[in-house]
Structure 1
């Protein structure tokens, strides 16, 4: 009863209250928008960086604009002109400095004159003598006399100059400085100095022979200007005068063909090509590998083969037996005992087996040169005469 009376006193729930009228400021106009969709585009891989406009092609497609890439890489239109003028001028300079090796007719680039070459050779001579000052054998040593006699026959038979005697060599060795020359670098590069002046005046080359007592080094080399260095380690491999003539003829041939000057000239070309490739964005390491395996090493092996050919002719004209050249390289292979590379692709020198095949190919020509030389059949008796004159042969393995 109490609940019913309470409900009757409450107002009815269905009663509605008035709402205020909406303000005009709150009324928003209805905006209608049309829906549009764009064309679907798929991601595309481009070899060149983004930002390069594709070149239109006849079929409507496009590809990377290589010219725009190069132009941006070089630094703009002005830089392209500068590079173009530089490459064009370098090409003209390269073509105008091409020459042929007189002995073989091979075409090469050469821009180092003889004065520069001789002066650099003289500086290397002084440094080498200073380094091995305690190991240089005296000029009157039997080994020095024997090596100098072989060198004299090779050089003077071909009219390449004269070899200094033992007394003259003593005077040369007395001029060795303590720190290797000390000449001004300008004199070296521009052909100054004593040797450079002698080359400009056209003086006859005076060859100097040095024997270094180093039994572990199987090497011999000739510097520009006629500086011959022979290590005693090569004597057991050469075994006799004809074998030593093979070694000396090869080294003298490098100077006859001016291979050191050719290498100095080619270094300029390699530097220019490396700078150009790196400017175009090629990696420095890849650039050096390409230039080394495609230009530097092949040219070095070509020079070595050319020296083998010229040296074989020089020793044949000096009445030495050219057949001993192949035997000498066979002994060299045996002495190396597999330490050499199986292929010459990674080496500056051809493989010994390849050298032997080339020498055998050139052998008929060498034998004809030897037969036409003034010595004729008497050359075979010369070595026997020298053996009787000097019984203590420096080529005996027991001595070394």
Structure 2
């Protein structure tokens, strides 16, 4: 039988907390809604900083004004930490050593340059370009026995053989080019040509002298001529009216042959690797991709291209003078080129791969005394003065006449 527990009196809230009775009201601050937030720091305006504030330019030192992270710490974060810094350092050091050990001087001018492409790779790439060019202009290539082709080949023969650069194939030897034009994604890989490993280069090493081939493309709208590695000369008929005569054509062909003599195509192939490495390094350090490309283009690529063109002008002037062509015609040819462009050329060469025509003319005039001395010392003597007349007699239709095009 259960007994009832004694009744216990439980105090109410109002009894235990007399100060919070019903008649007691909370202060107005507690009842009023919050109208604003409470800030514990002073307001600041946004400010862009390329590097953290208080940076220092030397590793291991904290900058003044708060001891924030320095530039070294910033680059370390960009590269990916201490281990990445070591990897990049080894890579940069190895690349610099490779660059220095592959420097050489151009024999004709003494200019120092970077070169890591051998002649076999250079010639193989030239052969591939030759096949592609002939495929593109297959219907416009003049036959070897055409009067224009004969005249152009005669000028090339004088320049090449007088300087001991090899021999020019005759019209009878200029048959169909054997080989298949590589399709996209097929044929020999360009990377193998640039970095070695191509099979075509092994065959080129066996040759003891260059056998030059001359192709004339009937395209009056193209004022151009170029020489591919391995001695493949291409002349467009559009350049003949600007050349005007054999001496003017010798200026053009001497310039293009000089590119091959100085191995400028191989130099450009080598410089692509340097530009790629520098671009990768600058982008790794946080520089914008567009800014990197513009910087390398205007600081390295375009100036080197203009330097190669001026060097080809210098060497080409000497080549044509040694072949007993008149070097004075070189300046006249570039004057005609300027007139044919009708103001379409840039007034400055800063944005161009070629020097301005006015600059080229001044440089040729500066080199003229040396060219005249070479011509006077050449073994051809006065016989060359009658060479153009002789060619006119056997080829009555001049290839330089604008009317035949």
The normalised TM-score by structure 2 is 0.85
**2:201 is aligned with 1:184:** no
**2:290 is aligned with 1:285:** yes
Partner of 1:384: 389
Moved >4 Å (runs of 4+):
20-28, 38-46, 52-64, 178-182
**Deviations 1:132-191, CA, capped at 9 Å, x for gaps:** 000000000000000000000000100000000101112xx2526365696322763436
What's the secondary structure of 2:365's corresponding residue?
helix
For the 8 Å contact 1:130–1:180, the answer to whether it is kept is: no
Aligned residues: 369
Partner of 2:178: 175
For the 8 Å contact 1:330–1:352, the answer to whether it is kept is: yes
**Deviations 1:46-78, CA, capped at 9 Å, x for gaps:** 62466x774567976767611111000111111
Range with bigger deviation, 203-212 or 55-64: 55-64
Structure-to-structure mapping, 1:5-20, within 5 angstroms: none
**2:133 is aligned with 1:128:** yes
**2:370 is aligned with 1:365:** yes
Partner of 1:32: none
Distance 1:43 1:65 in 2: 23
Give the drift of 1:40: 7.6
For the 8 Å contact 1:300–1:349, the answer to whether it is kept is: yes
The normalised TM-score by structure 1 is 0.86
For the 8 Å contact 1:48–1:64, the answer to whether it is kept is: no
For the 8 Å contact 2:215–2:234, the answer to whether it is kept is: yes
Cα distance change of structure 1 residues 187 and 81 upon mapping to structure 2, 3 Å threshold: closer
User: Which blocks of at least 5 consecutive residues in structure 1 are unaligned?
Assistant: 1-19, 29-37
What's the secondary structure of 1:346's corresponding residue?
coil
Structure-to-structure mapping, 1:138-217, within 5 angstroms: 138-170=143-175, 173-175=176-178, 177=180, 183-185=187-189, 188-189=193-194, 190=196, 192-194=198-200, 196-217=201-222
Distance 2:44 2:124 in 1: 67
Cα distance change of structure 1 residues 205 and 191 upon mapping to structure 2, 3 Å threshold: farther
Distance 2:15 2:393 in 1: 137
Distance 2:119 2:379 in 1: 31
For the 8 Å contact 1:304–1:350, the answer to whether it is kept is: yes
**Deviations 1:284-312, CA, capped at 9 Å, x for gaps:** 11100000011000000000000000000
User: Which blocks of at least 5 consecutive residues in structure 2 are unaligned?
Assistant: 1-11, 21-39
- Match for 1:119 among 124, 140, 154? 124
Partner of 1:337: 342
Partner of 1:47: 49
For the 8 Å contact 1:130–1:179, the answer to whether it is kept is: no
Distance 2:126 2:19 in 1: 101
For the 8 Å contact 2:63–2:70, the answer to whether it is kept is: no
Instruction: Provide the aligned C-alpha RMSD in A.
Output: 2.6
Range with bigger deviation, 61-70 or 95-104: 61-70
**2:97 is aligned with 1:92:** yes
What's the secondary structure of 1:368's corresponding residue?
helix
